[in-house]
Every structure is written in C-alpha cells, then in structure tokens.
A and B are shown apart, each in its own frame.
Chain A
Amino acid sequence: MGKYIGESVLRKEDPRLVTGEAKYLEDIQLSGMVHAVVKRSDYAHAKIKNIDTSEAEKVPGVIGVWTGKDFEDVNPMPCAWQAGGVDNNANTPRVLEIDKVTFTGQGVAVVVAEDRNIAEDASSKIVVDYEELPTVVSAEEAIKPGAPQLHENAPNNICMEWECGNQEGTEKALGEADVVVKEQLVNQRLIPSSMEPRGAIADYQPATEEFTVWMTSQAPHVHRLLATAFVFGIPETKMRVIAAHVGGGFGCKIFLYPEYCLVAALARKIERPVKWMETRSENFASTTHGRDHVTQIEVGAKNDGTINSLKVTTVANLGGTLSTIAPGIPTTLYGRLLSGTYKFPNIYCGVKGVYTNTGMVDAYRGAGRPEATYVVERALDLVANKLGMDVLDVRRKNFIQTNQFPYLPADGITKGLTYDSGDYEKPLNKALQMFNYGNFREEQKRARDEGKYLGVGFSTYIEACGVAPSAWIGVGGEGWGAGLWESANIRVHLTGKVVVTTGSSPHGQGTETTMAQIAADELGIPYEDVEVKYNDTLGTPFGYGTYGSRSAAVGGAALFNAVQKVKQKAVRIGAHMLEASPDDVVFEDGKVSVKGSPDQAKTIQEIAGAAALGYSLPEGDEPFLDETAYFDPPNTTWPFGTHICVVEVEKDTGSVMVKKYLAVDDVGNVVNPMIVDGQIHGGIAQGVAQALWESGEYNESGQLVSGSMMDYAIPRTDCLPSFELDRTVTPSPTNPLGVKGVGETGTIASTPAVVNAVMDALSPFGVTHLDMPLTSQKIWNAIQS
C-alpha cells in the first residue's frame, strides 16, 4: 500500500493525553453549573412506599430534590435490540424508579446542589421507605416455579426464549455419536471497569428548547437518537451530544443510561447546567455488567475425533431490567458463533434470557462471542480428553479446510452469513513455530515428576467483527432496532489541509491515527495534514459509534470510500486545470497528471485550492472537495487465530501462574501494527482476568459483594506476563481495506486458552472441568477431592 498504511505511526492522540491536557467529562466546567447526586436503592427488590426528601432539602446549598414521580412525563429507556423473531418481555429503567426497584443501585431520587459535596451530604439525608420483596439473583433459580417474580409482563422472569440451528438433527446426531460429552459451563458475570467511570453534563436553552449533553459515550449519535425520539419525545435535532475524551468503555458506554437522561431533564427543569459523575462504587452497582451465562453442552463425536454434533442450552442473566441492547448479546452475538472454526455438521442453541435482582447485563468486550468461543474451545478439549486424543489433533480433524471457503456453517447457525475467508492451520502452525509443543510435553512430564504441574491450553478461535450488514442485523432480521453501517466525511480545505469526520466514536482505540493514515495514503498527502474529528453529533455525519470491532472495518471503509469520491472529483478538476480530458489523467501520489507526461501535473493541494475558490470548474461540478460516504458492510468480518497459554499450578496452595502467553491472530490487513498489537494486549489481559480472577458476585439478598476495586480482582501489573504476538494476514474480502477489526480478539480468544491450560495442568488429578474464575481455592479443592 502507501506510505502510512501498514506502518506503526505514532498516535496523534497522545500529546494531549501524556501531558494531562485532555479533557474528560469530569474535567469540564460550565458557567453556573450545578451538581447532581443520585440516591440509589439499598435493596435488590422492593416496593417504594414513600420517599421523604424534607431533611435533604434543608441542607444549605441544595437547589432541589426530586423523585421518580417528578419525571412521570419522561419515558423509560428504550430497549433498542430485542432478540430477533421472538417476543421480548421488555422492562427497562426510568430516569428514576417510581414504584419499585429490581436491583441494588437503581436510582430513586436525585439531589441537585451548588457543589457535589453538599449534594452528597443531602443525599444521605433522604429517607426511603421500602417494602422489601423476596429476591432471586441466579437466573437458573429465577425460572423455577415459585421464584420471586420481578415483572408482571415476564412470567417466570423470562424476558425471551430464542433458538438457532437444528434441534432435531442435532439430537439425532448425538444419538449416532460414538461418544457424547456433557458438561455445565458457567461464564461468570464480569464488571467492565473502564478506568473512567460514567458521567454526563446537560445544558438547556429554554428559548430554543435545545439541549447540549456531554456524556461518557461510545456512540453519541445513537445516544442522541434514543434520548430524543424515545425518552423525551422531541426531534433529535433539538439535542447535541458530545462525548468528551472517554476513558475506556469496553462496551459499557454504548448504552443509554437513566442518569444521562436525568441530567437533561434536570437541566430543563432548573435551567442551569447540571453535572453528574458517578463514583467507582456506583459504577460497580449501576453500570452494566457482562456475560453471566449458565450453559449445558452436549458434544457428540466419532472415535476418530470428528465432532458430529453440538447442543447448547444457555440461561442468560440479564439483570433486573434491560439495558439498551441486552437481548441481542446472548442471542445473535452468541448462538451464531457456535460453529467456531470447525465444520460441525449439526448445531443447536437454545437461550433463555432471564430477569434477576442483579445489575443490568449487556455487551462487554466481545459481547456474546467470548461466551460462544469459550463453549466451543472447551468442548474441543473435553472431547479430546474423553477420547484420549491430543487437543491439537482434534482441532485439526475438525477445522474447516481452506478449500471450503466461502463456508456456510451448518444448520443456518449464522443465518446466512458465510465465513468469507480463512486458513485456520496457518496461525496454528505459526504459533507452533514460536512454541515447541513436543518439548513442552516432555518438560511437563519431567516437571510432574518433581511435583510441579505445568499445563498448556490452546484456543483456535473465530470471531465475527465489523458488525454488521444492516438488513441482516436489523428489525427484519436479528432484531437490532436500526442500521449498522458507518459514515465518514472528508473535506480538503483551500490550503490543502484535510479534516475527516467520522461516525465512529473512539475512546482509546487510536482511530484518530488510523483514519489519518488511511486518508493521507489515499490522497498522497502528509499524515500531519490530516485532522480527524469525532465524538460530537454536531459536525460529524450520523454514525453508529465504536463497538463490535467495527471502527476500522466499517468506519474505515466508509472513509476509504469517501476519499475515492474526493479523488474522482479531483481528477475532474485536475484534468480541467491541465486542459485534459479526465480519461487522460491519473491520480497518483497526491497528484493528477496527464498519462505519460508526469511533469504535467497538479497537486491535490492545488486542486483543492482551485475547488475551494471555484473560479474555474469543470461544467457540472460544484466548488470544494467535500465528500461523505456511508458504508454498509455486506458481511461481518471473520478474524481467527491461535492463542497458547502456559501455566503452572502450585499443588499445595492451588495458585496459578501464567508462565507464557502467545498469540497469532489473523485480523486481515493491518493499518497500524503498533495499535493492533496494543488492542490484542489489552484484550488478552481482560480475557485472562476472566479465567483467573474477576467475578461479579451477589449474595442471596442481592447485594453486590464484589462492589469495589478491593473486592473485584482487576489484574495488576505484576499479575501478568508480557504477551508474545505475531500474525498471519488473510485480507478480508468484505471491505476495500481488507481489514477485519481487532478490538475484541484478545478477549474472545484468551479465556478458553487459559482455562484449557489449567485443566491440562490438573489432568494428573483427574480434573476435567472447573468453572471460572479459577481461584486458588477452587483449584486446591479440586486437587484435594
């Protein structure tokens, strides 16, 4: 390609971040701004009988105290992705709950005061009279007869029942298998824990009835659409949403939260700017969580290791109410990935989405795909273990072969999406060049004789990124309530300097840099001449935002197409300036030149100047180089790869140490290798953390017992090794850049690799499966028994 794409160009974002100049939400101060603190429910399931705000109102400096009843005119949050093709008994939160709370940490009242400390003091003086109701925190318990019922419209606490694949065929194939492995796999609740918690600031102009709302957001346009059209019932043109610098999201900042709308409602009420910033404690309780599946698997295989059937039934805990896209995660983003990299001929997946008295569960890095990959990659190891075969032999036996692409997984499991490309042996073989498997097995044997327990685990995964074809995922298909294309605009100004705006909304991914690389290369201009702007509904084209590993594969593709439009116009204007026919000129290296006479040329800067002045343009052309493109991907992309984890388990304490971690990923073409590697590093860290440490846990009364950074075990520097990375490159045919997306790869792939490694280490003790997180106590117990 060009001068920049494929190079580890240093990030444009960094100078303002390493100096502390960048303004995150909490750093923004508006003139006259006041502060809101939300009073949250202490109970997981209770009727609100009365709220006494009188003492709070008396605190000097308090502007007002409001409860849910004051916002009856504000609609509940919408559920924008209901599981496709089935009924969803949707219940969503309100800005403040009015009658009832269904999980600890729901907002029931709000104090607004001149400063946050006063608001906090006053909030502690609000007295809420609750009638406690029985609670249920486990999804499996919640669907049993006699369980406490959370919502009238959801009998047995079931939000939806969804399935994919072929149940009959799969049952039949299980009956014909030589061996059938059954196991229960728990994919525990995780808490995303972006380093910056959530917050919002709203300003309201009564004269024009216009809102400006700053929020910690991965998708400002979507937030605006949902807040205006669904919650406030006003034209979306009456709100501007700005995401300031966003300190990480990992999914949890995609959603429209009650507090985001609450500050807007308050600003309208009191006609002053209102700021709300959550504390870490609130973040644990009230920001969305991820995962929380209990899954039964049955895998049928022939004696030679060929898997003939995979049956999966999952109970997915969705929390007390539905977050914005909650039902889509354990359905489309989970079930449709269950073929993995394998040619399973029969697959079935049935899912129940269930309400419980716990925090809302929605997309968290990987969102459904880590859960699916965990099922598939654990299933492979369980089959190998049952048959006494090597885990790699079973994988190779079942891999989709290169001559089978494009490959349509069996039983309509992907609902028509084909794996467009792939070569699954390639990253595996490359990884095995980095890791001598034969030597390891010998070392493992020797170590066991010395009382040391080493284990290796593999994950030869696939994922679907670059979400997603709008018609496939949309209301007539998988139930997503909108489209999922992406946008970009490019303007070449009179001086030749370029501004790109994008509907993507990055918050750490380095999109500003990669977009600039794409624009600079395609236009043949210096990277420094490109500014990339985003995160503001004013001044960016409508777009769906950053999640689902889609910014490069969908947003980047939109930019590529926008640049092509600019180039086409530049060719016409350049030819006009050169007094040549457009057919007789070429665009190359930032110049339009007459074919065969490279000296007769106009630079893109000269052309941009001419276009901006508009003195002399080709007939029919408008002034200025300004083009917008919208890219709707024809397919998702299908990254794949091999991750290998080596662990050592200490027999007497059950402690696990990750000794080595290596990954060979195929994410297609790579725009910026440095950034791609960084995404994989971070993803692996989160995936390893799920396998070994993190768990969002509620006690029986619905109190979050892992509700602080002291109790929820986010890995520290000294918990992890440095990861070794390499890649193979199979360009994606889905988009003009050939990229696939990389934000979630590490998380999706790594968790089963770690668990498989620990199980391998424990094999001398006859242990074949333990549920995550693999704490030293759990391992110690297993060794003891």
Chain B
Amino acid sequence: MSKHTVSIDINGTTVTKEVDSRMLLVHFIREELQMTGTHIGCDTSSCGACTILMNGRSVKSCTLYTVQANGKSVKTIEGMEEGGALHPLQEGFHEEHGLQCGFCTPGMIMRAAELLEKNPNPSEEEIRWGISGNLCRCTGYVNIVKAIQYAAEKMQKEAA
C-alpha cells in the first residue's frame, strides 16, 4: 500500500491521519499539522534544521518517512514551552544571543534538549560534540554553547 493511516503523538496530542508512504516526517509536521517551527535546510541529513525528538531521542525528521513514526511520540519546538513559559533552552538562546537569523534554532534546541537530558552538566567540549549534527551559519557557535550552558545551569537549579 502506498497510503497508510498513522497515529502519532505530537506534543502530547495524538493525531491520526492517512499519509503517502513517501511523505517525510518533516513534511507531515509542517504541512499536515501546520507546525512550521521545524525547518528544512538540506537534503542530505547534514544540517539538523529539522531536528525533533522521537520517543525522547533527537532525530532528523527529513530522514524519516512519516509511516516510520507510527505509534511513536514526537516533540517539536512548538511543544517546548510549559505553561506559557519558555523552556530554559529557549530562554538561554535569547539571553546569550545564541541565534541570529533563527533558522537553525528550533533544531538546535531540540538536539540540545536530548543532550541535557542525558548529560545535565556538559563541558564545552561535550556541548560542541553533542550538537555537531546541527549547522549554524550565523553565530560561529560561540553563543550557542553559552546558551546551552545557561540552560544546563538553570535546569540543574530547578531540579535541585
């Protein structure tokens, strides 16, 4: 069959839709669900602008067919705010000027979310390795590293 019905938990809400087998997950999120915070920056899984969390792990949604996400939970940048407040990572990018044009930012934040989940207190080197699959052309990465450090600190304080 080239058409399939998928049920995917998107940011806490289960969505059921019929999709073409060839529909990429990023197109599903952007075009079927109208959530356009997840961006498309390349066609070779190189740039990370389309990074989302699937079952808690960061993945490049341009390199997954929607059908592969059937039955899974997906989190996008639109699901990061809690109770109207920015997630510490979103706040960190703002506070530390971790973004300029903003195109890579949602993907960066989603990737960093998993990084901090696994490693709540990363060193600069661990951050640089941890987000190495996400390209930014504007910032030279200096303030992105600081933004993630800001979030790590804030999240640790909140957890304490």
Contacts and interface: CB of A to CB of B under 8 A. Distances in A.
- Chain B associates with chain A: yes
Contact of A280 (B22, B43, B139, B145): B43
Interface in B19-53: 20, 22, 30, 34-44, 46-47, 49
Contacts of B30: 26-27
A699 interface: no
Contact of B97 (A248, A675, A710, A720): A675
Contacts of A14: 93-94, 99, 102
Question: Which of A10, A17, A29 counts the most B-chain CB atoms under 10 A from its CB?
Answer: A17
A509 interface: yes
A18 B102 contact: yes
B66 interface: no
B78 A19 contact: yes
B37 A708 contact: no
Contacts of A718: 128-129, 132
B58 interface: no
Contacts of B136: 195, 717
Interface of A: 8, 10-11, 13-15, 17-24, 26-27, 29, 117, 193-197, 245-248, 250, 279-281, 507-510, 674-675, 677-679, 681-686, 708-710, 714, 716-718, 720, 722-723, 746
Nearest to A365: B137
Given A11-B94, A21-B37, A24-B39, A248 B124 contact: no
Interface in B126-145: 127-129, 131-145
B37 A196 contact: no
B94 A709 contact: no
B64 interface: no
B141 to A, nearest CB: 5
B78 A682 contact: no
B101 A507 contact: yes
Interface of B: 20, 22, 30, 34-44, 46-47, 49, 76-78, 80-81, 86, 90-91, 93-95, 97, 99-106, 109, 124, 127-129, 131-145
A678 B97 contact: yes
B137 A20 contact: no
Given A8-B97, A717-B136, A722-B142, 14 more contacts: A14-B99, A18-B93, A27-B36, A194-B103, A248-B103, A280-B47, A507-B101, A674-B97, A682-B100, A686-B140, A708-B43, A709-B135, A716-B133, A746-B140
Contacts of A10: 94-95, 97
A648 B135 CA distance: 24
A546 to B, nearest CB: 12
Contacts of A717: 127-129, 131-132, 134, 136, 141, 144-145
A197 B38 CA distance: 15
A517 to B, nearest CB: 14
A679 B101 CA distance: 11
Contacts of A117: 20, 22
Given A19-B77, A682-B137, A723 B99 contact: no
Nearest to B130: A717
B109 to A, nearest CB: 7
22 contacts: A10-B94, A14-B93, A14-B94, A17-B102, A18-B77, A18-B91, A19-B80, A20-B35, A26-B36, A26-B39, A117-B20, A195-B138, A196-B101, A280-B44, A678-B138, A685-B139, A709-B42, A709-B46, A717-B129, A717-B134, A717-B144, A718-B128
- The B interface is mostly helix, strand or loop, or mixed, namely loop
Contacts of A196: 39, 41, 101, 103
B44 A710 contact: yes
A675 B105 CA distance: 16
Contact of A247 (B91, B97, B101): B101
A183 to B, nearest CB: 29
Question: Which of B22, B40, B97 counts the most A-chain CB atoms under 10 A from its CB?
Answer: B97
A713 to B, nearest CB: 11
Nearest to A196: B103
What are the 10 closest A-B residue pairs judged by CB atoms, nearest first? A20-B37, A247-B103, A17-B102, A508-B101, A685-B140, A709-B46, A681-B140, A20-B77, A27-B36, A508-B100
A246 B129 CA distance: 28
A27 B106 CA distance: 14
A281 B46 CA distance: 12
Contacts of A15: 86, 94
B81 to A, nearest CB: 7
A401 B43 CA distance: 52
B141 A24 contact: no
- The A interface is mostly helix, strand or loop, or mixed, namely loop
Contacts of B100: 248, 508-510, 678-679, 682
A245 to B, nearest CB: 7
Given A20-B35, A21-B37, A678-B100, A686 B106 contact: no
B140 A682 contact: yes
Given A280-B42, A510-B100, A674-B97, A23 B36 contact: yes
A18 B105 contact: yes
A250 B35 CA distance: 27
Question: Which of B44, B103, B105, B129 counts the most A-chain CB atoms under 10 A from its CB?
Answer: B103
Contact of B137 (A193, A245, A710): A193
Contact of A17 (B20, B99, B124): B99
A406 B97 CA distance: 36
Contact of A720 (B43, B80, B81, B141): B141
Nearest to A709: B46
Contacts of A17: 99, 102, 105
Question: Which of A13, A510, A722 counts the most B-chain CB atoms under 10 A from its CB?
Answer: A722
Contacts of B106: 18, 20
Contact of B39 (A29, A247, A279): A247
Contacts of A686: 137, 140
Given A27-B30, A196-B41, A678 B143 contact: yes
Contacts of A13: 102
Contact of A20 (B78, B94, B140): B78
A195 B143 contact: no
Given A247-B39, A248-B137, A722-B145, A508 B131 contact: no
Question: Which of A197, A684, A717 counts the most B-chain CB atoms under 10 A from its CB?
Answer: A717
Contacts of A20: 35-38, 76-78, 106
Contacts of A280: 41-44, 47
Question: Which of A23, A250, A279, A709 counts the most B-chain CB atoms under 10 A from its CB?
Answer: A709
A14 B99 CA distance: 8
Given A280-B43, A709-B44, A247 B102 contact: yes
Contacts of B134: 717
A717 B135 CA distance: 7
Contacts of B109: 18
Contacts of B140: 681-686, 720, 723, 746
Nearest to B42: A280
Contact of B135 (A19, A23, A195, A675): A195
A21 B105 CA distance: 12
B139 A681 contact: yes
Nearest to B35: A20
A508 B77 contact: no
A19 B141 contact: no
Contacts of B77: 18-20
B98 to A, nearest CB: 9
Contacts of B37: 19-21
B41 A681 contact: no
A605 to B, nearest CB: 28
Contact of B49 (A195, A509, A677): A195
B104 A18 contact: no
Contacts of A507: 101
B104 A195 contact: yes
Contacts of B81: 19
Given A675-B97, A678-B143, A717-B141, A24 B103 contact: yes
Nearest to A27: B36
Contact of A681 (B103, B104, B105, B143): B143
